[in-house]
């Protein structure tokens, strides 16, 4: 019988409760893992979630938890500011690490995470669940078949009309380092760059705006608002243009609040033979005197989070390479850093 992997989870907020722990518990029921610890700064949260597992203990201090067991896997779902230091400590303790997006607060922290992963010969993966959704996997197959021809441009877009997170600390720069660019932009850019084959970024120009989140008269629709307006010090709209090696480009636009008709978004990748789009999902081209579109009649609706958790578990079990390579996540971090710096300097900045 295969060894059960010892798993610990640090941070038991919404993403952990809804998208991580249920799938670790599923693997525990299958006899593949043992969830030994759940850590959170709020006692009732970690106690409640630990009680849902077979033998997990609640912890308030993650270092104490790491010292208690020789964990095989640590899953990190904390505020963004905790991603890098906790990842480094977990990797140094001998655990493999899966960590929620964004990778860190800046590229320097991301490099430290990669260095710890290499030094300890442990796997490190940022939880980019969109790569694991069935439709996106199909689009990746299309790209890798060469059907798009020469890829010359991509677009990553997610625009909410009103959708500023009214919980947690998403709106505070020292906790999260950014607004929608760090929250949802990181997802769309990762998916776009993955589908494009991760061409090397050369330079970026961008602009960020804060127009709604710090206003006392903000109407945030069904998202509500539970934070004081004066706390909001991140952007609520950001856009950028990334120049890529070989002459290709990627456009980025993300928002938590805009005066637009409705929420919209998706990833588009353009080639000289065909293009792909995630919304509506399909492959778009032309054939002699007609325009064509190809899609799929049925695709699995399995949650991408479930797939990524199971993928990471299997990678540790079988010593396989993780799909989301940490060096790729560092590239996305550099682009985000570059957009913020470009907006501050009001000019294009190089990406090194």
Q: Residue 341: how many CB atoms within 10 A of its CB? A: 14
Q: What is the Cα–Cα distance from 40 to 175, expressed in whole angstroms?
A: 16
The CATH class given to the 131-303+333-350 domain equals alpha beta
pLDDT at residue 1 in the model: 64
pLDDT at residue 288 in the model: 86
Domains 5-128+305-319 and 131-303+333-350 share a fold: no
Q: What is the Cα–Cα distance from 160 to 137, expressed in whole angstroms?
A: 25
Query: Residue 25 — φ and ψ, nearest 5°?
Result: -65, -35
- Closest by CA to 182, choosing from 234, 249, 251, is 234
pLDDT at residue 18 in the model: 97
The CATH class given to the 5-128+305-319 domain equals alpha beta
Q: What would the two tokens of residue 67 be?
A: 């010292």
> In angstroms, how far apart are the furthest CA atoms of the chain?
68
**CB 19, CB 305: distance < 8 Å:** yes
What are all long-range contacts of 84-87, with beta carbons under 8 Å and residues at least 24 apart? 84/109, 84/110, 84/112, 84/113, 86/10, 86/62, 87/113, 87/116, 87/124
The phi-psi region of residue 146 (left if phi > 0; otherwise alpha if psi is between -120 and 50; otherwise beta) is left
- Every domain of the chain and the residues it spans: 5-128+305-319, 131-303+333-350
Q: Which residues of the chain have pLDDT under 50?
A: none
The phi-psi region of residue 31 (left if phi > 0; otherwise alpha if psi is between -120 and 50; otherwise beta) is left
* pLDDT, tens only, 47-100: 999 999 999 999 999 999 999 999 999 999 999 999 999 999 999 999 999 999
Q: What would the two tokens of residue 288 be?
A: 């002699």
Residue with tokens 């800046």: 106
Instruction: Report the residue count for the chain.
Output: 352
SS3 sequence, the chain? CCCCEEEEEECCCHHHHHHHHHHHHHHHHCCCEEEEEEECCCHHHHHHHHHCCCCCEEECCHHHHHHHCCCCEEEECCCHHHHHHHHHHHHHCCCEEEEECCCCCCHHHHHHHHHHHHHHCCCEEEECHHHHCHHHHHHHHHHHCCCCCCEEEEEEEEECCECCCCCCCCCCHHHHCCCHHHHHHHHHHHHHHHHHCCCCEEEEEEEEECCCCCCCCCCCHHHCCCCCHHHCCCCCEEEEEEEEHHHCEEEEEEECECCCCCCEEEEEEEECCCEEEECCEEEEEEECCEEEEECCCCCCCCCHHHHHHHHHHHHHHHCCCCCCCHHHHHHHHHHHHHHHHHHHHCCCEECC
Q: What would the two tokens of residue 191 be?
A: 């998916």
């Amino acid at each position: 019988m295969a060894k059960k992997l010892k798993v610990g989870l640090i941070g038991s907020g919404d993403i952990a409760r809804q998208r991580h722990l249920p799938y670790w518990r599923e693997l525990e029921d299958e006899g593949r893992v043992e969830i030994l610890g759940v850590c959170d700064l709020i006692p009732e949260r970690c106690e409640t979630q630990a009680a849902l597992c077979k033998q997990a203990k609640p912890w308030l201090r993650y270092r104490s938890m790491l010292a208690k067991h020789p964990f095989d896997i640590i899953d990190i779902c904390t505020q963004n500011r905790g991603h890098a230091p906790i990842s480094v400590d977990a990797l140094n303790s001998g655990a493999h690490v899966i960590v929620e997006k964004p990778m860190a607060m800046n590229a320097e922290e991301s490099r430290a995470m990669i260095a710890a992963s290499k030094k300890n010969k442990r796997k490190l993966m940022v939880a980019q669940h969109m790569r694991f959704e069935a439709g996106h996997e199909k689009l990746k197959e299309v790209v890798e078949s060469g059907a798009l021809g020469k890829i010359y441009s991509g677009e990553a877009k997610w625009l909410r009309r009103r959708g500023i997170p009214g919980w947690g600390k998403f709106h505070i720069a020292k906790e999260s380092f950014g607004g929608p660019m760090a929250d949802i932009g990181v997802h769309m850019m990762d998916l776009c760059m993955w589908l494009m084959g991760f061409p090397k970024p050369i330079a970026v120009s961008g602009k960020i705006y804060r127009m709604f989140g710090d206003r006392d008269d903000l109407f945030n629709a069904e998202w509500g608002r539970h934070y004081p307006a004066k706390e909001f010090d991140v952007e609520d709209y950001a856009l950028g243009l990334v120049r890529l090696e070989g002459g290709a480009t990627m456009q980025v636009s993300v928002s938590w609040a805009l005066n637009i008709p409705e929420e919209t978004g998706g990833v588009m990748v353009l080639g000289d033979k065909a293009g792909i789009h995630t919304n509506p999902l399909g492959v778009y081209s032309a054939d002699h005197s007609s325009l064509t579109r190809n899609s799929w009649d049925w695709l699995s609706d399995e949650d991408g989070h479930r797939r990524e958790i199971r993928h990471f578990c299997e990678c540790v079990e079988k010593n396989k390479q993780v799909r989301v390579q940490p060096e790729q996540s560092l590239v996305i971090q550099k682009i985000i850093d570059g957009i913020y710096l470009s907006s501050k300097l009001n000019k294009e900045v190089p990406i090194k």
